[in-house]
Amino acid sequence: MCRSYIYTVVLLFLLTVVARSQGDLINEDRIVTYNENSYAAYLNSNGFSLQYRFGKRMDGYKKHIFDVDFSHIKHPKEFKVRNPYYDNQKRFVFGKLNTFMTLRGGWGIQKEQFSKQDKGGVSIKYYYQVGVSLGLLKPVYYEVVDSARIDPIRNEVLLYIGNKKFSSDIHSVSDIYGRSSFFNGFGEMSLVPGAFGKLGISFEYSGSYKYINAIETGVMFDVYSKSVPIMDTENNSRFFITLFIGYRFGKVGIRKDEL
């Protein structure tokens, strides 16, 4: 529901920007831009991503793009629950073995398909990209009730809680008190190499050729060297298909004789 709402808001935003494009002509002469340095944040169908991009101009409409990004990838069957038997607000994903994150480095081509014609207009660009991925698996720990006893003086139940990974000894939600600290398990991380491909479209609406403000959307395909063990209670895969939408901002270099 939340993701559908975000997509609807972004669509309305794009329609509003396009409607504004019937204004005055841009009063800034078109100039030749050079290298791009930009940043982006994406909401993905299976998590989120943060990205840095360096773009090198090929001609007036094409760029080589080099991206580095960090992503958090969730299993499609991840749902947070709470133990109903304890007064505890620590929600957790039952049956999760590992938190999966990935670092990507990619190269691609971006082409401007439709240029801005009016002040407040939108240029439309598409891009494709391929690259390598390095998956990071961090074990998930739970707070598990080892034992309990009644304190006769206070007349209350005392719980003895330990931090444990998910295992066959944990049979149901009621066996878990709550989630443990996210930082537990960092010393046990393992690596999973892979590769990816990406197709995207960018709606750039900045009022100046010197700056970048854009909404981007597209699809990404990831494949890893082995099945990625995110969940114990569900099937895992080595393939991921991701839909994404995000915001990009940054600057481009300008020839000194055109400043």
SS (H, E, C) 132-198: EEEEEEEECEEEEEEEEEEECCCCEEEEEEEEEECCCCCCCHHHEEEECCCCCCHHHCEEEEEEEEE
Closest CA to 173 of 229, 253, 90, 113: 90
pLDDT value at residue 46: 94
pLDDT at 20: 46
Would you state the pLDDT for residue 22?
A: 42
Strand partners, 176: 144
Quick one: pLDDT at residue 214? 94
Domains identified in the chain and CATH numbers: 2-258 (2.40.160.20)
Please list the ranges in the chain whose pLDDT falls under 70: 1-33, 88-89, 119, 147-153, 155-160, 254-259
pLDDT at 156: 66
Local structure of 3: helix, strand or coil: helix
At residue 163, the pLDDT reads 83
Tell me how far apart the alpha carbons of residues 181 and 142 are, in angstroms, rounded to a whole number.
8
Among 244, 246, 247, which residue's Cα sits nearest to residue 220? 244
In this prediction, residue 13 carries a pLDDT of 54
